[in-house]
Amino acid sequence: MSSHKPASDRITVPKFVAMKRDGKKISMLTAYDHTMAQLLDEAGVDSILVGDSLSMVVQGHDTTLPVTLDEMIYHAKMVARAVHRALVIVDLPFPSFHLGVYSAIESAGRILKETGAQAVKLEGGVEQAEVIAGLVSAGIPVMAHVGLRPQLVMQMGGYKVQRDEEQLLADALAAQNAGAFGMVLECVPRSAAAKISAELTIPTIGIGAGAGCDGQVLVVNDMLGLTGGYVPKFVKAYADLRGQITTAARQYCEEVRGGAFPADEHSFK
């Protein structure tokens, strides 16, 4: 008999979907390593996304395109190992799901088998419906990602608010009909996001999409005030960790240079 029974308060995919039906707003944050995932899980966040934003946030690239499937798996393992309650979702990186259903199942299957995460996310709606259906029929829960799709940055020439309501609704419905259990709506006018959220039976998780979504997601480094340089308009910083870390590191350097650290209590008799 397996000893890996899910903890009773574990947020499973069906529980995640039921939160919409029960009128409970869903909180989601990204995480890329063990310590952060542990802190967020202990704080009670409902879902943790190992986003391909790790390409920019952790690896320092300009876009989300360079991160590989192996690198996503490496980080997802650290995150999943730390999490006891939240639903852990992992992004399928570019272009791991553009090479057909077979290859998408191979990539997503590796994520589920090797990391301990519960679901994958992929960018796309109408044109990814066949891939979503294929993954779902293989038993792989899929979250879709509609609106601004950062993996299309080369084609779009930048990151822009997506305003074509007809296309947005068509993408959202196609993903739902293909079997997606939820979807991220990124950089969509709040009225359109609210309309789509009302239309769908599965939860919408907004980022730059207003309060009418069924939940919200932010990149954790942005919401903790860790990001240097440009931060998008839709981010609210709940802390200034960049400032606090810089101050702490400066003080440490001064104390080492001045001999104040280590004191006797930080060493052995």
From the annotation, which residues make up the binding site for 3-methyl-2-oxobutanoate? 52-53, 91, 121
Nearest to 121 by CA among 212, 53, 26, 191: 53
Among 184, 187, 188, 194, binds ligand KIV (CB under 6 A): 184
Nearest to 186 by CA among 219, 154, 157, 155: 219
Measured from the CB of residue 28, what is the shortest distance to ligand KIV in angstroms?
A: 8
The span of 10-18, 49-57, 102-110, 234-242 binding ligand KIV (CB under 6 A) equals 49-57
CA–CA gap between residue 182 and residue 214 (Å, rounded): 10
Measured from the CB of residue 51, what is the shortest distance to ligand KIV in angstroms?
A: 2
Give yes or no: 186 in active site: yes
59-64 contacts, C-beta under 8 A, 24 or more apart? 63/150, 63/153, 63/154, 64/93, 64/94, 64/150, 64/151, 64/153
Measured from the CB of residue 13, what is the shortest distance to ligand KIV in angstroms?
A: 17
- 185 binds ligand KIV per the rule CB under 6 A: no
Name the amino acid, one letter, at 87.
Answer: L
Measured from the CB of residue 244, what is the shortest distance to ligand KIV in angstroms?
A: 23
- 91 binds ligand KIV per the rule CB under 6 A: yes
Cβ-contact 122, 161 below 8 angstroms: no
CA–CA gap between residue 118 and residue 15 (Å, rounded): 12
Query: Measured at CB, which residue is nearest to ligand KIV?
Result: 51
* CB closer to ligand KIV, 133 vs 184: 184
Q: Which two tokens stand for residue 250?
A: 């400066």
CA angle, 238 then 28 then 219, to 5° = 55
Q: Which residues contact 150 (CB under 8 A, 6 or more apart)?
A: 52, 53, 63, 64, 123, 159, 186
* CB closer to ligand KIV, 1 vs 40: 40
The span of 19-27, 44-52, 192-200, 227-235 binding ligand KIV (CB under 6 A) equals 44-52
Distances (CA, A) of 244 to 6, 158, 250: 37, 32, 10
- 52 binds ligand KIV per the rule CB under 6 A: yes
Q: Which residues are annotated as a binding site?
A: 52-53, 91, 121, 123
Among 172, 194, 207, 209, binds ligand KIV (CB under 6 A): 207
Could you say which of 165, 186, 254, 265 is catalytic? 186
- 132 binds ligand KIV per the rule CB under 6 A: no
Strands (E) located in 70-148: 87-91, 119-123, 142-147
Point out which residues bind ligand KIV (CB under 6 A).
30, 49, 51-53, 91, 184, 207, 217, 219
- Residues with catalytic function: 186
